[in-house]
């Protein structure tokens, strides 16, 4: 069975500092990885997906199959980045996702 691990429950950084939210997965096949974000008082929403290789709100994530990781990075944190971040994996043809336990990012002045 597939599994997603986010080792940090809370990550606190200063504004302007680099951010890296860790995500590791276990799955025997070829996975699709996603990052979802939940801002305060807002719905959970998709931030980015590995297959698109895009940068959203300055965030990027690269799928490293050798290390089975999909870490989320941003070079300079902003206050509005404070939120709950979830890494998720889609395995095979089924549409369901397996989520990690989430990391709360706190950006302080």
Partner 1 sequence: DGGITQSPKYLFRKEGQNVTLSCEQNLNHDAMYWYRQDPGQGLRLIYYSQIVNDFQKGDIAEGYSVSREKKESFPLTVTSAQKNPTAFYLCASSTGQGNYNEQFFGPGTRLTVL
Told to check if 59 binds partner 1 by CB under 8 A, we report no
Told to check if 100 binds partner 1 by CB under 8 A, we report yes
Judged by beta carbon, residue 45 or residue 78, the one nearer partner 1 is: 45
Regarding 101 and contact with partner 1 (CB under 8 A), the answer is yes
CA atoms of 84 and 81, how far apart (whole Å) = 9
Residue whose pair of structure tokens reads 């939210």 in the numeric block: 21
> Half-sphere exposure of 109 toward its Cβ, with a 13 Å CA cutoff?
0
Q: In the structure encoding, which two tokens stand for residue 45, read together?
A: 């929403």
Q: Cβ(73)–Cβ(59) under 8 Å?
A: yes
Q: Which of 37, 49, 63, 70 binds partner 1 (CB under 8 A)?
A: 49
Q: Give the binding range for partner 1 (CB under 8 A) out of 17-25, 43-51, 55-63, 66-74.
A: 43-51
Dig out the tokens for 84 from the structure: 């709950």
Q: Which residues bind partner 1 (CB under 8 A)?
A: 6, 9, 32, 36, 43-46, 49, 51-52, 86, 90, 94-102
């Amino acid at each position: 069975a597939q599994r997603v691990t986010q080792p940090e429950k809370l990550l606190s950084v200063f504004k302007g500092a680099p951010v890296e939210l860790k995500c590791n997965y276990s799955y025997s096949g070829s996975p699709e990885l996603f990052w979802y974000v939940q801002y305060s008082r807002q719905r959970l929403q998709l931030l980015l997906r590995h297959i698109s290789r895009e940068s959203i709100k300055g965030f990027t994530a690269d799928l490293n199959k050798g290390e089975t990781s999909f870490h989320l990075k941003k070079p300079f944190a902003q206050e509005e980045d404070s939120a709950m971040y979830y890494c998720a994996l889609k395995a095979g043809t089924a549409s369901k996702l397996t989520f990690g336990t989430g990391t709360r990012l706190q950006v302080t002045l």
